[in-house]
Each structure stands twice: as structure tokens, then as C-alpha cells.
Amino acid sequence: MAGGGGASEPAPQIAIAGVTHIYRPPRGREVLALDGISLEVRHREFVALLGPSGCGKSTLLYLIGGFLPIERGTIAVAGKPVTGPGRDRGITFQNFALFPWKTVRANILYGLEKLGLPPAERTTRAQALIDLVGLQGFEDSYPAQLSGGMKQRTAIARMLAHEPDILLMDEPFGALDAQTRSLMQAELLDIWRRTPKTVVFVTHDVQEAVYLAERVVVLSARPGRVKAVVETRFDRADPGLLKSPAFVDKVDEIWHLVRAEAIAAQRASAP
Ligand SMILES: Nc1ncnc2c1ncn2[C@@H]1O[C@H](COP(=O)(O)OP(=O)(O)O)[C@@H](O)[C@H]1O
Ligand SMILES: [Mg+2]
């Protein structure tokens, strides 16, 4: 095949090349968080990021989102270098940052404000998103009145509001009970199938990563490097998938990769 991305091989939706990130806190030592990350995510691909706590998963999402300066290496989205946040990318933060002084509805409406829609359409869309994430009846509640799972669902609705092509999700289902989590996973897969979205999904749950993603990227203990990229395409319509030997083996294979890094991370932080 000819190089340079011919018509048969479209440019990747997200192209990360040689990205290194150093935090420089005003006090204390510099932290090398990411070291030479290169990764390409195809249009409409669903990629999961796994790795031990502190390996730089959130940092990588912030960089793709344009919230942190890219000092070394490059990140391009749809062929254009990332220079800041943009409407093409939606993000849910690990602590599901909602505006505490706004209700559920107002938090979601915020995501719709910059679209220039007539107010009536905004209200309709906000309600559709509220229904989608199952928050009917809580429209007028404030974040402090919500459970962790409900805050998370509000954050997901707000992320979806402006219909970004790219969803950057930082441990979005971590705070949910098993039942809600499974419903939200199905909902996310449904959104991903129905609309042309590219997803980068951070989780610490290996089974969730293998179930949702088409490829799982395992990062090493800090500084985060790409340790392994594993194909994880399964037939999610198969009701017996989670118990099938192929699926269980894949979870086991990736679990071992992650575990080795978690042990390395623990050693590094031991006194
Ligand atoms: N603002 C910051 N200043 C200094 N160090 C930071 C800052 N944010 C994160 N770090 C450090 O960078 C590393 C990567 O953090 P993070 O991306 O949050 O990891 P993960 O999401 O994989 O748990 C961690 O060691 C963390 O302590
Ligand atoms: Mg994180």
C-alpha cells in the first residue's frame, strides 16, 4: 500500500505522536507524567485506556481535550493540531465536574448554549438528554442533592449536548452501582453505534474495557508509556459473551499486563 494515507486509508481521527507531559507544580518536584506516547485512533473507533492509578490516563485525555498545553510531541484531531478545547470533543471528567449552582437541567442546557439554537429547541433537546440518561424527575435538583451515579449521568448528558464527534470519558461509570453501570454501558454502545462517534474511554475495570472497546491500550506505571495495544473486538450482541472462553481469556491476558504495572507503580511509591 502506498504511504501517506491514500483514499483507502483515511487519516486517523486522533493522531498522538511522541507526546511527553511534565507537570511543574509551583512548589515541589516536577512530575514526568507521560513519556513518548504515540497512538492513533480511527474515525468511529472505540478505544479504552487502562493502566495503574497515576500513570497519566487523565493527563492524556486532558491533552486530547485541549485543556493542557502540548509541550512535546503533537496531537492532531481530524488532521488539525489541537491548540485548545473545541466543540468537536466532549469530555466527562473523573470527578464529573458539574456546576454546583446549576440544576441538572441548567447543567445540560449549558452544553447547548453555544449552539445558537432557539430556546424552545434547546429545552426539547435538554429533555431528550435527561430522558436518555434516565434523570426524569430530577431536572430541578442540584448536584449536591444527587447520588454519585446521578451526577455522572448529568455529566454524560452535558457531554453529549453539543453532539461532539469525539467522546473523551474519564472513568465515567466508576461511581455507578452494577445495575446502572450495565444500563449506561448499553446506552453508550447504542449512542456509539447510532451516531458517528469516536470514543476514548478511561477505566480501571479490565472487563469493562474489553467489553466496550475495540482496542485496549495498556499504559505502563508512571511515566505512562504505551505498554501494549490489544484488539478486543467481540460480538456484544451475544448474550453469553461475558462467559465465553475467548472473552474470559482476553480479560485475563490484559489483567496480567495491567497487574504487572500496578505492582511496578506500588514499588515506585513505596517509602
Ligand atoms: N497538576 C499536577 N501537578 C503535579 N502532578 C500532577 C498534576 N496532575 C497530575 N499529576 C501527577 O501526574 C501523574 C499522572 O496523573 P493522572 O493523569 O491523573 O493519572 P491517572 O489518571 O492515570 O491516575 C500522577 O502521578 C499525578 O500525581
Ligand atoms: Mg485519572
Residue 254 lies inside a defined structural domain of this protein: yes
In the predicted structure, residue 182 carries a pLDDT above the cut 80: yes
Candidate of 21, 50, 55, 59 to mutate for ligand 1, largest count of ligand atoms within 8 Å of Cβ: 59
Where residue 219 sits, what CATH number does that domain have? Answer: 3.40.50.300
Residue 188 lies inside a defined structural domain of this protein: no
Tell me the residues surrounding ligand 2 (ion) with CB < 5 Å: 57-58, 94
In the predicted structure, residue 220 carries a pLDDT above the cut 80: yes
Number of domains in the chain: 1
Residue 60 lies inside a defined structural domain of this protein: yes
pLDDT in tens, 155-178: 989 998 888 999 999 999 887 888
In the predicted structure, residue 117 carries a pLDDT above the cut 90: no
In terms of DSSP bridges, do strands 166-170 and 89-92 run parallel, antiparallel, or are they unpaired? parallel
- Positive or negative, the Cα torsion across 269, 230, 199, 16? positive
Residue 139 lies inside a defined structural domain of this protein: no
- Which phi-psi region, left, alpha or beta, contains residue 28 (left: φ > 0; alpha: ψ -120 to 50)? left
Most confident of 59-63, 183-187, 234-238: 59-63
Residue 175 lies inside a defined structural domain of this protein: no
Give, in degrees to the nearest 5, the angle at Cα 144 between 143 and 146: 65
How many angstroms separate the CA atoms of 226 and 105, rounded?
A: 39
Q: Which residues line ligand 1 (CB under 6 A)?
A: 23, 25, 31, 33, 51, 53-59, 222
In the predicted structure, residue 6 carries a pLDDT above the cut 70: no
Residue 1: what pLDDT? 43
Considering the entire predicted model, what is its pTM?
Answer: 0.91
Which domain does 207 fall in, by range? 10-44+53-83+199-264
Classified as helix, coil or strand, 218 is: strand
